[in-house]
Structure 1
């Protein structure tokens, strides 16, 4: 927690209180959410169990009653004879059976609201219904399944019946056979006889209305399923989750009174089921997890609002408390900043006797002591730095002075008085800048005069002249820089750049360019360039590295680096560019503020 340790005390206090408040509210919120969620889940499952039990018992009673009523219907005339005729391939009696069969079924339909209509059909699709005599041509639309392969009473899924103008009917197929000789009706097929099916068409709306009355506000869907888990009274487009394979498998493998959770691709579903004692049908109650968490969202919103209020209160209280506790600390911080900024002129007095006030008194005493010591150290450092710079300035090529004096003496002996006079004049200018009455800094203009005097003397030593040109930003002429900075660089150009050139056979005419300009970050940029042999940049970088072997061999660059370090501290930079016989540059960037 390094970032926390680096915060100010008041912000540490604010952060700590916010963290504690948020953690406490988060824990309370999670525990409350978990508690209410489990409470809602248990309540919903309890209600769902009660609903499916009641619905299962009620539907079991209704279907068993309906099945018994169907038994009574099928043994009344003319159904035994009609079924026997179909079994025995006698089709001529349909018309004469219609009136009497309709009279019997009308009473049956009036007494059973669940039943929409009844059908009697053989496996050649010839059908009887009290509603129509001509519906056999719609057989494949109403019953696309192969109902002749169902050997027992079977409940089929809901479907649309255009014949009866109903949105949904649930067919219940009874395999029936009649043996007139024994006056016996059986729910089975007789071998080598035509198969007969008696079909009840259950009104789906009646089933759905009943389930809606038994549902609660958390119910996603309550429906009737067969023994394989396939929904019977609903369609897939309305409740697609009920038709998922994992849901059907859960129902098919389940037992009466079973409840549990099934995970789907979208969310979890809570299921409760009960079995009906008719064709192994199942009543299924389904609830989505999102329905349970919907009410809890209000609780979550409440906790969020509470958290925001507590957050703001924690921030305000912690700021007020931290302000009270850190008041004297801020005073000490102000004093220390003033000391660092060198603006602590008016002493701050502490009149209390608490620990922080005593610390402030000791801070004042320590400041007085350190201030006196700093004054002494600064005076000593200034004297030491001036002496060091002066010493290094005096080390710069003393042989140059001796050689120049001998050259002047030689010119006088040979009667070249004008040459000797020019050399003396240039030497005077050179020494005037070198000595400069003990000054460390001189103007850029004076430094240019100094290096120009040096080049004039060097060009008079021999007949081989080196062209030197200078270009200075006019705004920098009066700017102060360290003295004797350009002369060692010009000397290096002559010694290392043009050494070994034979007069008249130089690769290029020797040339030195000095450019002094301002940089974008308000520094002075000095670039000394020659067109000589080139610079070994690796060696040059080693020369400006303290205590390196190369700095001992190449005195010029090492001396410049040391003097710049003593004069500018770290606010300077030296770099090199080398393109032999084209551009070999030493670039120095200095701070204007010194």
Structure 2
């Protein structure tokens, strides 16, 4: 990954870097914002929940106390004491007389307490009185599955169906009453030896739920009334299953006033607040779900995600624009370096600005000028050195050739062959005039052909049967400049290696040397081919001797000398190759550039 990133182009590095920075910044901002808003939202919800349960607890405490006092006033007024005593005593004589008076008293009670929808008075024998009986006597067991006589204190039972109207729910509040007609004492408890009964007030859950709904907020999962065991009284498990968990009931039962207590359940994490009601150990419970607390915060996530997409797109566009702006000059520097490598940097690029990259470009131009100047100086020095070396190599004369030629001329003079001696002296003069032409590195092709022809004329005078020599030059190449003393060493090699150590009189075929100077098919190089029909060329050995630093003996000096001078004059554009078919055609092929005249104006 590291290597992959390191090998990316600068603009992609900048793009990835800006998107990474943008993403990291937005993730940090979103996380901090999410945490901040979640905590703030949670604090506000908990504060509202605390206010709601405290207010509801205070209000319901007041209402239940008021209801309890009103119930007490109702039950001590006639005809209720006598009616309760008769019901408890299983006496029905005065029931009809009690009915109208009790109904009138209860009607006033219902008007003052809207949350109460019915009052039931029952005895242990199952006798029941209610101003709205409507068949309650036959469905009492349906209304109360509990054994109400097992509860000797005032008890609030969980909600159940309102059998009066067959819809809605009712919360029964059971008052145990004992009354002694002889002593006239009345008590809210079961007293041994006294008549006992149960006065049951049915409270409308719709009224309680409506009040709790008013006290709730948008984050409230459920607000309800619970007994001392933490069991919900005014709600059903089908609607609020989380409120009926055993862990929640135990938590509510153990602590009177909870403030934002967190409780994990299988479905969700609950936030619980409670407030005690000063009546029968009742409690108001407020529950919020953590998922509800974070519900609005999810919008922030969506918002930040959209912001991230927008910012990433903006960062990408900005990165492309910025990278283009920054890499424009860098690309220019790269183009300059590429042109320098191709040796085609002719027109200097101007950097008008004063930033770091422009300064680098200016310094690159200055460095290029300095290097070019140094290269020019080095080139001039190398050329001087090359000219001296070429001059030295091209003007080397084989002393044996000169001695033998002079002895041959002397022999011809002693024998009276003055014409032959004169011709040899004339040929030797032409040969030396070109060989010793000091200061000239390049001569015309025609002059070079005359030089090798003079050499062959001299060499043919040494033997009675000479070598047939021909030289073919394209007419338009005669005035072209080539390196001097190029052909003579090649012709000398033909004589030495092609026909050496054998008598030309006994040669199987007429010995001949042919020189051909033409252009190649592309007209970019001059091809010089020196051929003979001698014994052949040892091509591997001949090829190896071209680049030898110090060739072994004089046998290999000619080719090495030519190759070194060709490299000095023409560089790698010059080439020497060999073809050998013994006794048919053995060729040394020299290729030089046709339009290369760098040394043609040398002094």
Compute the displacement of 1:77 (Å).
2.1
> What is the alpha-carbon distance in structure 1 between the residues aligned to residue 224 and residue 157 of structure 2?
14
TM superposition shift of 1:19: 1.3
**Partner in structure 1 of residue 202 of structure 2:** 201
CA distance in structure 1 between the partners assigned to 2:62 and 2:242 by the alignment: 29
Matched with 1:286 is: 287
In structure 2, what is the Cα distance between the partners aligned to 1:108 and 1:317? 78
4+ residue runs over 4 A deviation? 192-195, 331-340, 344-350, 356-366
Query: If the length of structure 1 is used for normalisation, what is the TM-score?
Result: 0.57
Contact kept, 8 Å, 2:153 with 2:188, in 1: the verdict is yes
From the superposition, tell whether residues 348 and 21 of structure 1 become closer, same or farther in structure 2 (CA, over 3 Å). farther
- Rounded to whole Å, the distance in 1 between the matches of 2:65 and 2:189 is 18
CA distance in 2, matches of 1:136, 1:48: 42
Paired with 1:237 and 1:356, the residues of 2 have a C-alpha distance of: 80
Shift of 1:27: 1.2
Match for residue 87 of structure 2? 86
TM-score normalised by structure 2 residue count: 0.56
Q: Which residue of 1 aligns with 2:18?
A: 17
CA contact (8 A) 1:48 1:272 kept: yes
Secondary structure of the 2:285 match is strand
Q: Could you tell me how far 1:11 is from its partner in structure 2?
A: 1.3
Alignment of 1:355 onto 2:360:
yes
Tell me the equivalent position of 1:106.
107
- Corresponding residue number in structure 1 for 2:146: 145
How far residue 115 of structure 1 moved from its aligned partner, in angstroms, is 0.7
**In 1, are the aligned partners of 2:46 and 2:259 still within 8 Å (CA)?**
no
Match of 1:219 in 2: 220
User: In 2, distance between residues paired with 1:195 and 1:348?
Assistant: 123
Q: 1:314-463 alignment to 2 at 5 Å?
A: 314-330=315-331, 347=345, 351=349, 352=351, 354-355=359-360
Q: Take 1:182 and 1:338, find their aligned partners in 2: how far apart are those partners?
A: 127
In structure 1, the partner of 2:45 is: 44
1:259 Cα deviation after fit: 3.0
User: Is 1:171 matched up with 2:172?
Assistant: yes
Aligned partner of residue 220 in structure 1, secondary structure: strand
- Deviation (angstroms), 1:219: 2.2
Shift of 1:304: 2.6
Matches within 5 A, 1:109-124: 109-124=110-125
Query: Residue 239 and residue 192 in structure 1: after superposition, are their counterparts in 2 closer, same or farther (change >3 A)?
Result: same
Q: CA deviation at 1:175?
A: 0.9
Moved more, 194-203 or 285-294: 285-294
Per-residue CA deviation, residues 478-527 of structure 1 (Å, 9 max, x unaligned), is xxxxxxxxxxxxxxxxxxxxxxxxxxxxxxxxxxxxxxxxxxxxxxxxxx
Residues 316 and 124 (structure 1), Cα distance of their counterparts in 2 relative to 1, 3 Å cut: same
Q: Which residue of 2 aligns with 1:312?
A: 313
Please report how far the alpha carbon of residue 69 of structure 1 lies from its aligned counterpart in structure 2 after TM superposition: 0.9
Residue 174 (structure 1) shift: 0.7
Structure 1 pair 347–157 and aligned structure 2 pair: CA distance change class (3 A): same
Q: SS of the residue aligned with 1:249?
A: helix
Question: Secondary structure, in 3 states, of the residue corresponding to 2:182?
Answer: coil
CA–CA separation in structure 1 for the residues paired with 2:108 and 2:208: 21
- Report the secondary structure of 1:90's partner residue: coil
Deviation at 1:125, TM superposition (A): 2.5
How many residue pairs were aligned? 370
- Cα shift readout 1:212-250 (whole Å, capped 9, x = no counterpart): 222222222221111111111111222222212222222
Identify the residue that residue 245 of structure 2 maps to in structure 1: 244
SS in 1 for 2:191: coil
Deviations 1:328-374 (A, max 9, x none): 4445666889999xxx58557653574357568979989xx9xxxxx
Kept in 1, the 8 Å contact 2:256–2:283? The answer is no
Compared CA separation, residues 126 and 194, structure 1 to 2 (3 A): same
Deviation at 1:203, TM superposition (A): 0.9
**Unpaired segments of 5 or more residues in structure 2?**
352-357, 376-537, 541-603
Could you say if the C-alpha distance between residues 359 and 92 of structure 1 is closer, same or farther in structure 2, counting changes exceeding 3 Å?
farther
The question of 1:33 aligning with 2:34 is answered yes
Indicate conservation of the 8 Å contact 2:178/2:194, yes or no: no
Deviates more, 1:138-147 or 1:192-201: 192-201
Question: Could you tell me whether the CA contact under 8 Å between 1:123 and 1:194 is conserved in 2?
Answer: no
Alignment partner, residue 70 of structure 1: 71
User: Contact 1:138 / 1:163 at 8 angstroms: preserved in 2?
Assistant: no
Q: Does 1:136 align with 2:131?
A: no
CA distance in 2, matches of 1:72, 1:61: 16
Report the alpha carbon displacement of residue 109 of structure 1 after superposing the two structures with TM: 1.4
Take 1:134 and 1:234, find their aligned partners in 2: how far apart are those partners? Answer: 26
Change (3 A) 1:149 1:166: same
Structure 2 counterpart SS, 1:274: strand
User: What is the CA RMSD across the aligned residues, in angstroms?
Assistant: 3.2
| Distance in 2 of aligned mates of 1:338 and 1:265 | 73
For residue 515 of structure 1, what is the aligned residue in structure 2?
Answer: none
Q: Which residue of 2 aligns with 1:417?
A: none
Superposition deviation, residue 117 in structure 1: 0.4
